[in-house]
Chains A and B, each alone.
Chain A
């Protein structure tokens, strides 16, 4: 699986959009970009994933650059409950494939 690079931490203001970057310059053609988050002392929560097109769901939007070497997760209106560690993971699609977690980005939403 391709390696990803994320900032260690970032702060954002409640009610504002939070933009979380992820670099994955060695991504292969059949690898997807997955985003999970882990709120303190809980199991990770699936957020969104995509291959090359931008994706949006009820939680977030995923913007993938045309060359697929980087992506941005957007939380449109951050709330205090969005404070968590966010993990960007690149791997082939499929439920049977393992996920390799890096250090992620610690996002702190401030009132």
Chain B
């Protein structure tokens, strides 16, 4: 159990377009989901915390108008990168907090974004 999926697994887009990434907890409900970004040879950096039915909480330095997060249900959160630019190219990873059992977070496989 505790499977988290992401879609798409990779995406290439032109500069100026918007890209939506989905994160789903497949076999458990998650009131809280997290979005991370990872640049090559670096560690994961938390971007925002997404709570079902409420506004996301963004980490310092992350533009909330550029990275739109929606957490409409207990199993789905989406991250939309608006007006993407080459510097937004990165590996985006979500995680979902499982309340029952281990009470920890489980991560999706990640989405690799390349903006041309």
Note all chain A residues with C-beta closer than 8 A to B99. 95
A102 to B44, CA, bound (A): 8
Q: Are A95 and B43 neighbours in the complex by a CB distance under 8 Å?
A: no
Given A100-B46, A101-B43, A102-B43, residue A95 in contact with residue B104 (CB < 8 A): yes
The reply to whether B103 and A93 form a contact with Cβ atoms under 8 Å apart is: yes
Secondary structure dominating the interface of B: strand
Nearest CB of B to A74, in Å: 19
Q: Separation in Å of the A5 CB from the closest CB of chain B?
A: 14
Interface size on A, residues (CB 8 A): 23
- Cβ–Cβ contact B32 & A44, under 8 A: no
How far apart are B55's CB and chain A's nearest CB, in angstroms?
15
Q: Does A99 contact B95, Cβ atoms closer than 8 Å?
A: yes
Say if the beta carbon of B105 comes within 8 Å of chain A. Answer: yes
B: residues with CB less than 8 A from A are 2, 4, 6, 30-32, 34, 36, 43-46, 49, 91, 93, 95, 97-99, 102-110, 112
Interface residues of A (CB under 8 A from B): 34, 36, 38, 41-46, 49, 87, 93-104
